Amino acid sequence: MIRGIYTAASGMIVESLRNDVIANNLANVDTAGYKKDVTISKDFASLLLRRINDGKDAPEIGSMGVGALVDKVATIHTDGALKLTGNELDLAISGNGFFSIETPNGVRYSRNGSFTRNAQGELVTQTGNRVLGTNNTPIILGAGNAANANGVKALFTKDGRVYVDNLEVAQLQMVEFADPQRQLDKEGYNLYKAPDGVTGQAFTGQITQGVLETSNANVVTEMVNMIAGQRAYETNAKVVQSQDELLDKAVNDVGAVS
């Protein structure tokens, strides 16, 4: 019965962690470029069962799980839908690829293309980190008082070239990763870190100006997953309670000295 308590309790821990991940997905359904996470759980130390009373060569009859644990939290890097904003500094990536962002901790990568200008006329994220051009250089847009032929102050081409008043001033430093789920780690603020030794590849996607990529987390799907997780948590909690009641009866009634 102690084993039953441990097994059900491990299930409660798994479902609690799963609901935390789902809650974070729900909190970021309106975050541009956000990629949802999923928990991957696995069986913990299964026991091999054999038929008794058949000697040392007793045949196997299956296995019995003794608990579960979260193996890892994986990020799903599918594209989100594109939303038209009309803001000249809003950029969306179609296909694989990431913007390079300068942070106090080094270069990081992001799919969030909601950018703005700082006081120095540099292209920056909403948190003030500079968006990098080729060779880790800042992208200087200037004040941008004059409009070019397209009626915008800054023009970004599909391959990442940056024009101000019809003059090319920079090239966005766009990178790709063959397997972003394995090669990138989430670091918060919609940023990803590449482990030491992992470098990006040439960008083959496309950039669209005046558009943002929405989160790939769906509210309805995440709510359904949360309800299912809560029910699984409650089921495991009831198992713990039942096992505790059986243990109490075994100790105080069955095992009592008459």
Higher pLDDT, 144 or 62: 62
What's the mean pLDDT in 57-83?
Answer: 82
DSSP SS3 for 37: strand
pLDDT, position 130: 97
> Residue holding tokens 């729900």?
26
Give the confidence band of 253 by pLDDT, cuts at 50, 70, 90: confident
Higher pLDDT, 62 or 216: 216
Query: 154-186, pLDDT tens digit by residue?
Result: 999 999 999 998 899 999 999 999 999 889 999
What is the distance in angstroms between the CA of the first residue and the CA of the last residue of the chain?
A: 23
What's the mean pLDDT in 81-88?
Answer: 94
| pLDDT of 246 strictly over 60 | yes
What's the mean pLDDT in 126-152?
Answer: 76
Highest average pLDDT, of 28-32, 139-143, 248-252, comes from 28-32
Q: Write 114-120 long-range contacts (CB < 8 A, 24+).
A: 114/32, 114/33, 114/90, 114/212, 115/89, 115/90, 115/91, 116/89, 117/89, 117/141, 117/144
71 C-beta neighbours (distance < 10 Å), count: 13
Question: Considering the chain, what percentage of its residues have pLDDT values greater than 90?
Answer: 63
Strand order in the sheet with 98-103: 174-175, 98-103, 106-110, 191-193, 185-188
| pLDDT of 251 strictly over 80 | no
| pLDDT of 214 strictly over 80 | yes
Backbone angles phi, psi at 198, to 5 degrees: -100, 120
